[in-house]
Amino acid sequence: MFEFAWVWVLACLPLPLLFFLLPKRQDSQPAALKVPSIIGGIEASGQRKASNKLRVLIAILAWVALVTAAARPQWLGEPVSIPAEGRDLMIAVDLSGSMKIDDMQINGRQVDRLKMIKYVLHDFIERRVGDRLGLIFFADTAYLQAPLTYDRDTVNLLLDESLIGLVGEQTAIGDAIGLAIKRFKSREESNRVLILLTDGQNTAGNITPEQANELAISNGVTIYTIGVGADKMLVQSFFGSRQINPSQELDEDMLSKIAESTGGQYFRARDVESLQKIYAKLDELEPFARESRQMRPLQALYYYPLSIALALSVLLALWQLLATRNWWPTSRGVNP
């Protein structure tokens, strides 16, 4: 269906008629003495009138197109139903310096932990049809990258653009949980689920994980924690290769307590396959029944009349320029 968002703007269409009510300007310069010529006078008068009429017509069309564009024409598509059931999931991703450790593999290629999380999380986000998703990044502090939204493509794009160390090198787990709780408070009817992915322990932030845990319990937020990192990794040194545990700083006890006390669960992601299994379990979370709603796709059309108005304005400006420089055929009097 076609409509104008601001239909009242069309009332401005008659405004140019006000110029005809203004008193005419008196020309103080003496008129030039023209050579008497009946035929030449008739031809010059006819050309001048035809030229003026065409310029007025172009100006009117430009004004109509401009006002039409200002009224914001748009096309409304057919109503689309939004699923009545879904989840409200906030995803918190660790961007601390330890996420640079390349102890993960994707299709036989060694990658860092953040790349592995992005690789698996993309598919998880794509499957969240009908769910509202939010995205939090945390390191020295936590910040909201995407509020709860149905726009999965935007959430995936923002996840793609994330960089390790973007907000520091440490890990503020308590701040990430606190920020998620704050965002859930504006959603009175919500199942309030937080999925937190980290590879370390809390080393920064304004609130401790224990304080954040108490807030989560009192606000009914369920937290699923995921510890990311391999147990074994070969590193090269001067004396040859040796095996180390790259996840020795992972605080699994703290993550387990937070998850269990809020009714969630702690998972351990040592590789791509284990993280995929974790997300498959999270798919089984009960959806939250909410009021059914409909939306109508909207396509803006203002740029069509705006382009026409711009083109006609340029044409009038060129016409005036050519006329003033005597490059345009106009009727002129001849001075003696």
Backbone angles phi, psi at 154, to 5 degrees: -65, -40
pLDDT of residue 288: 55
d(CA 224, CA 226): 7
pLDDT of residue 334: 40
Confidence of residue 91 (pLDDT cuts 50, 70, 90): very high
Across 92-117, average pLDDT: 87
3-state secondary structure of 264: coil
pLDDT of residue 290: 53
Q: Where are the domains of the chain?
A: 2-11+32-77+297-324, 82-293
Q: Does the pLDDT at position 257 exceed 70?
A: yes
Across 123-151, average pLDDT: 89
Taking only the tens place, the pLDDT of each residue in 281-292 is 777 775 655 555
- The pTM is what? 0.61
Taking only the tens place, the pLDDT of each residue in 109-130 is 888 889 988 988 888 888 887 7
Q: Does the pLDDT at position 296 exceed 80?
A: no
Backbone angles phi, psi at 44, to 5 degrees: -65, -40
Neighbouring residues of 23: CB distance < 8 A, sequence distance ≥ 6: none
The more confident residue out of 138 and 52 is: 138
- 82-293: CATH topology is Rossmann fold (3.40.50)
Q: Cα angle vertex 302, ends 315, 3, to 5°?
A: 135
